[in-house]
Amino acid sequence: MKSLAGQDVLTAGQFKPSVCEQLFKEARAMRTLVDEHGSLDRLGSRVLINLFYEPSTRTSASFAAAMLRLGGKVFPINEIKTSSVAKGETLEDTIKTLEQYADVIVLRHPEAGSAQRAAAAADIPIINAGDGAGEHPTQALLDLFTIIEEKGGPDGLSITLLGDLKHGRTVHSLARLLSNYDVRLNLVSPKTLGLPKAVRDDLSVSVTEHDSLESALPDTDVLYVTRVQRERFAKKADYDKVKGSYVVSPESLVKAKDDLIVLHPLPRVDEIDARMDADPRAAYFREVRNGLYVRMALLALVLG
Amino acid sequence: MKSLAGQDVLTAGQFKPSVCEQLFKEARAMRTLVDEHGSLDRLGSRVLINLFYEPSTRTSASFAAAMLRLGGKVFPINEIKTSSVAKGETLEDTIKTLEQYADVIVLRHPEAGSAQRAAAAADIPIINAGDGAGEHPTQALLDLFTIIEEKGGPDGLSITLLGDLKHGRTVHSLARLLSNYDVRLNLVSPKTLGLPKAVRDDLSVSVTEHDSLESALPDTDVLYVTRVQRERFAKKADYDKVKGSYVVSPESLVKAKDDLIVLHPLPRVDEIDARMDADPRAAYFREVRNGLYVRMALLALVLG
Amino acid sequence: MKSLAGQDVLTAGQFKPSVCEQLFKEARAMRTLVDEHGSLDRLGSRVLINLFYEPSTRTSASFAAAMLRLGGKVFPINEIKTSSVAKGETLEDTIKTLEQYADVIVLRHPEAGSAQRAAAAADIPIINAGDGAGEHPTQALLDLFTIIEEKGGPDGLSITLLGDLKHGRTVHSLARLLSNYDVRLNLVSPKTLGLPKAVRDDLSVSVTEHDSLESALPDTDVLYVTRVQRERFAKKADYDKVKGSYVVSPESLVKAKDDLIVLHPLPRVDEIDARMDADPRAAYFREVRNGLYVRMALLALVLG
């Protein structure tokens, strides 16, 4: 098994089951240690730079908290667009400059492929925290970890992906990651927002398409919800016609399994009714918490 | 006496004299420790998130310094308005996400009542660092602490509130907090900018209104200055007529007591003449320093 | 020799050779310690505030990393322009407020002389990280340190300053600093962008002006490159006529010494061809790294 030490984290595809197993074992250890001590003193001498070319409070805070709870040091760079660094300097030069100060760089950038470019320029590890239409591998990893922790899977599970499956790197990365396991995937989306052929062709598992959540629900162990945005429809009438079919609420889950779990990469707007929050099947905030443990594990292994 | 451990800090009204006594005793201990050691190692495993929906360098820096000098970790979130978190996500969801990463959230938000909403959503303590026209309890606490440290009060003191007493949560919170003690309050403001009836009705102490600082000054132990903003007047002529009456300078204090102190929540523009800074009675920068100790004490007790 | 302890760092002129010697000895010690341990635990109780009135990711990150690797604490303030602090508050008041929280303030401000004003107001040390057309002393210090580390100088070296020598505090500060040593300076710039007379008059070393890099190159040990910006020319035709003469590339260095080094304060746009990066003579990213060590040394000595 290839160790993560010193590696870049660029795509979900790097995470074969054996690497995931190593990572998730470490994540469980992190959960125990955080529960007991709040923080560890494991990366006390290391510096992480959070280099965010577009804002993402949630991802930035998650990586920062992970590094801080490992005892490490964090310097966030958020204002990159207005900074002189941005005035004509290449991403490669910015990376080659910042790596003189840091031990690892977490990069969010609007262009697909930017994380690869950064990694090629850098001598220190680069962690992709979202590169435009490209990938967001740590989100897929925390999704998978949550499925395992909540449902003991993923083998044998039936997982339903709901909403806009066309856009959104999160659902693409997750589908590819799940394809390494013995799962059944149900796809529920508006016709114009289905999973792209390129992603479907990569999947080596059983895939069923459904017109509605209702038909997929009886066989669903994990319901992964994403938002259907009005902006994706040419006509408001087309959006209005379908939007109700992609909202999760106590009513829409009447025929669901008792032990189903609902996941969402967040932020949510109204695709999950707030009344769901009190339902023990709503696992999306526990999913957020798992993001802390998975990112702690990843930083510890990459810098270990 | 109710302990502060695990509590939210939402309003000045929570701080009965016995709680203030506990808090201020801790603040004095913090002052001694900071003087001797610079920082402590008391909250080494804890993470504070500074969640600021509107910028406030001063308050943000004060809480951050307090947490850092307690040995704790700080992650500041300032760009919330432009972030994806802000795109349709409720305050409640943002809080429920960030509490997965942090042990305490300090919240500045433009809407009155937002701190209460955040506290209702959160399992971890929320500290209100200003919620629009609502409250800013830690400012009132550091004001009161300064009055006690500088003047040995507040019992028996005559305290003059000067300037715009209508707007500004700071002066309202302070007036309510002082109302728990045996003080005399003098109110000096333009007629249209007097203390709101709702606040006055809450006060159980002797209150006297004055037309001018001059008449209140001979009986003033503590002069609390706030700015009279031009924007509050319909006509510039009305503003010009009164503005000189609310400026504190060496000249305007000729008839003041020798041991009077001048306070101000800052930032100041021209309502306190810069020549006052060298006067030992100018206590406003010592007041800022006290903010560090009071916020250290508060964080230590809430997270203790 | 005057100690740096408790001193402000405002101009390159403060750094006489004996002070530089002390600073650079400390910087070398920092390099060894960082190589061995990543970080030290030397300033664990101290708080640095990075107060940036204009963005400068690179300088801000460099000072932050320096403080963090010394074990100290950092609070960055970047949003100063939009903050309430900026609404009419003087720089002096902002400084007198923030010094209640911090042990040292690193200041970047668009106005020349602002660092001096801040230092006059403050009781704690102020470090000038660029004050408009004024100075940027730590950049000049890290440039000099790099020349010494790379070339064993500066005594006896021939140093060529290339590009826009009129604007840019960096090259002015460096020229003045080099003037304390036995160096030869070659100036290569467009006629309208020569070194200002005020700076030249301060230089007590041999200075030669060249029309082109080609004529200066055979005698160059250190080539210090700065950008020639199109905006500095009234007519695009004038710019196009000269721009090629100020680009450093493998081709333009054919007649250079084998042990020449190329420096640049960065960011670069196209004045150094990216193919140079693989050339061992390209020292500009090592120069960035030296910035970390020099700023660590400076903070350690100032706060020591």
Q: Which pLDDT tens digit goes with each residue over C70-85?
A: 999 999 998 666 555 5
> β-strand B206-210 against B184-188: which pairing, if any?
parallel
Would you call A113 exposed, middle or buried from its count of C-beta atoms within 10 A (0-12, 13-18, 19+)?
middle
**Residue C4 within a domain:** no
Query: C57 to chain A nearest CA, in Å?
Result: 6
- Give the residue from B265, B294, B280 showing the smallest Cα distance to B34: B294
- From C80, C82, C102, residue closest to B65, measured CB to CB: C102
Check if the beta carbon of residue B14 is closer than 8 Å to that of residue B20: no
**B75 contacts on C by Cβ (under 8 Å):** none
Query: A99 to chain B nearest CA, in Å?
Result: 21
- From B46, B78, B85, residue closest to A58, measured CB to CB: B85
Tokens standing for A294?
């998975």
**Residue B7 within a domain:** no
**A42 contacts on C by Cβ (under 8 Å):** none
ipTM of the complex: 0.94
**B39 contacts on C by Cβ (under 8 Å):** 44-47, 73
Tokens standing for C191?
């006629």
Instruction: Please name the helix (run of DSSP H) or strand (run of DSSP E) that holds residue C261, with its range, or none.
Output: strand C261-263
Say whether both A267 and A163 belong to one domain.
yes
What are the residues whose beta carbons fall under 8 Å from the beta carbon of B17, sequence distance 6 or more?
B180, B181
**B83 contacts on A by Cβ (under 8 Å):** 55-57
**Residue C7 within a domain:** no
Say whether both A250 and A195 belong to one domain.
yes
Torsion of CA A59, A62, A67, A68, to 10 degrees: 130
Average pLDDT for runs of 10 along chain C of length 304: 86 95 98 97 96 90 98 89 66 96 96 96 97 92 98 94 90 94 96 92 93 92 92 83 87 94 94 96 98 98 95
**pLDDT confidence of residue A44:** 93
For chain B, give the secondary structure using H, E and C.
CCCCCCCCECCHHHCCHHHHHHHHHHHHHHHHHHHHHCCCCCCCCCEEEEEECCCCHHHHHHHHHHHHHCCCEEEEECCHHHCHHHCCCCHHHHHHHHCCCCCEEEEEECCCCHHHHHHHHCCCCEEEEEECCCCCHHHHHHHHHHHHHHHCCCCCCEEEEECCCCCCHHHHHHHHHHCCCCCEEEEECCHHHCCCHHHHHHCCCEEEEECCHHHHHHHCCEEEECCCCHHHCCCHHHHHHHHHHHCECCCCCCCCCCCCEEECCCCCCCCECHHHHHCCCECHHHHHHHHHHHHHHHHHHHCC
**pLDDT confidence of residue B243:** 78
A and B: number of Cβ contacts within 8 A: 79
Q: Tell me the C-alpha distance between A275 and A166, whole Å.
A: 28
Across all residues in chain A, what is the average pLDDT? 93
Q: Does pLDDT of B67 surpass 70?
A: yes
**Residue A5 within a domain:** no
- From A55, A68, A285, residue closest to B47, measured CB to CB: A68
Q: Tell me the C-alpha distance between C266 and A85, whole Å.
A: 9
Q: Tell me the C-alpha distance between C78 and C65, whole Å.
A: 16
Mean pLDDT of A32-41: 97
- From B44, B82, B97, residue closest to A58, measured CB to CB: B97
Q: Please, what is the end-to-end C-alpha distance for chain A in angstroms?
A: 16
- Give the residue from C259, C242, C257 showing the smallest Cα distance to C189: C242
Query: C89 to chain A nearest CA, in Å?
Result: 23
Q: Which amino acid is at A284?
A: Y
Say whether both B230 and B297 belong to one domain.
no
Say whether both B248 and B279 belong to one domain.
yes
CB contact under 8 A, B84 and A291: no
CB contact under 8 A, C57 and A83: yes
| Closest chain B residue to the Cα of C82, Cα to Cα | B55
- From B47, B80, B85, residue closest to A65, measured CB to CB: B47
**B85 contacts on A by Cβ (under 8 Å):** 57-58, 267
Question: Which residues of chain A approach chain B closer than 8 Å at the C-beta?
Answer: 37-39, 55-58, 61-62, 64-65, 68-69, 74, 76, 78-79, 266-269, 274, 277, 285, 288-289, 291-292
Query: A299 to chain C nearest CA, in Å?
Result: 16
Residue for token pair 């700076």:
C199
**CATH code, B115:** 3.40.50.1370
Check if the beta carbon of residue A126 is closer than 8 Å to that of residue A10: yes
- What's the pLDDT band for B86 if we cut at 50, 70, 90? low
**Residue C131 within a domain:** yes
**pLDDT confidence of residue B1:** 44
Say whether both B89 and B151 belong to one domain.
no
Say whether both C196 and C170 belong to one domain.
yes
CB contact under 8 A, C285 and A98: no
For an interface test with A, the pick among C33, C57, C288 (most A C-beta atoms closer than 10 Å) comes out as C57
Say whether both C143 and C283 belong to one domain.
yes
| Closest chain B residue to the Cα of A284, Cα to Cα | B97
CB contact under 8 A, B269 and C73: no
Across all residues in chain B, what is the average pLDDT? 93
Q: Does pLDDT of B81 surpass 80?
A: no
- From C58, C65, C267, residue closest to A102, measured CB to CB: C65
Domain count, chain B: 2
Phi, psi of C175 (to 5 degrees): -60, -45
CB contact under 8 A, A61 and B73: no
CB contact under 8 A, A89 and C65: no
- Domain limits at C113? 12-135+289-302
For an interface test with B, the pick among A59, A63, A68, A231 (most B C-beta atoms closer than 10 Å) comes out as A68
Q: Tell me the C-alpha distance between A159 and A264, whole Å.
A: 13
Say whether both C71 and C126 belong to one domain.
yes
Phi, psi of B238 (to 5 degrees): -65, -40
Q: What percent of chain A has pLDDT over 70?
A: 96
Q: What is the DSSP letter of C217?
A: G
Give B231-240's long-range contacts (Cβ < 8 A, gap of 24+). B232/B164, B232/B166, B232/B167, B232/B192, B232/B193, B233/B192
**C73 contacts on B by Cβ (under 8 Å):** 39, 68-69
Q: What is the DSSP letter of C132?
A: T
Cis peptide before C218 (omega within 30 of 0): no
Angle between helical axes of C284-302 and C17-37 (0-180°, round to 10): 100
Query: B43 to chain A nearest CA, in Å?
Result: 10
**Residue C235 within a domain:** yes
- What are the pLDDT digits (tens) for A241-296? 877 788 999 999 999 999 999 999 999 988 999 999 999 999 999 999 999 999 99
Pick from B3-12, B83-92, B107-116, C106-115: least confident: B83-92
Residue for token pair 């190329």:
C262
Query: A9 to chain B nearest CA, in Å?
Result: 22
**A93 contacts on C by Cβ (under 8 Å):** 266-268
CB contact under 8 A, C100 and B292: yes
Check if the beta carbon of residue B121 is closer than 8 Å to that of residue B92: yes
**Residue C44 within a domain:** yes
CB contact under 8 A, A267 and B49: no
Q: What percent of chain A has pLDDT over 90?
A: 81
**pLDDT confidence of residue B269:** 87
CA angle (A131 as vertex; A126, A133 as ends), nearest 5: 155
Question: Which residues of chain A approach chain C closer than 8 Å at the C-beta?
Answer: 44-47, 49, 73, 75-80, 82-85, 87-90, 92-94, 96-98, 100-103
**pLDDT confidence of residue A81:** 63
- From A75, A89, A92, residue closest to C61, measured CB to CB: A75
Say whether both A131 and A161 belong to one domain.
no
Q: What is the pTM assigned to this prediction?
A: 0.95
- What are the pLDDT digits (tens) for C85-144? 556 789 999 999 999 999 999 999 999 999 999 999 999 999 999 998 889 999 999 999
> β-strand B104-109 against A104-109: which pairing, if any?
unpaired
- Give the residue from A108, A144, A91, A131 showing the smallest Cα distance to A263: A144
Say whether both A248 and A258 belong to one domain.
yes
Residue for token pair 């993001």:
A291
- From B61, B267, B274, residue closest to C75, measured CB to CB: B61
- From B61, B269, B285, residue closest to C96, measured CB to CB: B285
**Residue C211 within a domain:** yes
Say whether both B151 and B213 belong to one domain.
yes
Say whether both A146 and A284 belong to one domain.
yes
What are the residues whose beta carbons fall under 8 Å from the beta carbon of B174, sequence distance 6 or more?
B12, B139, B140, B143, B144, B161, B224
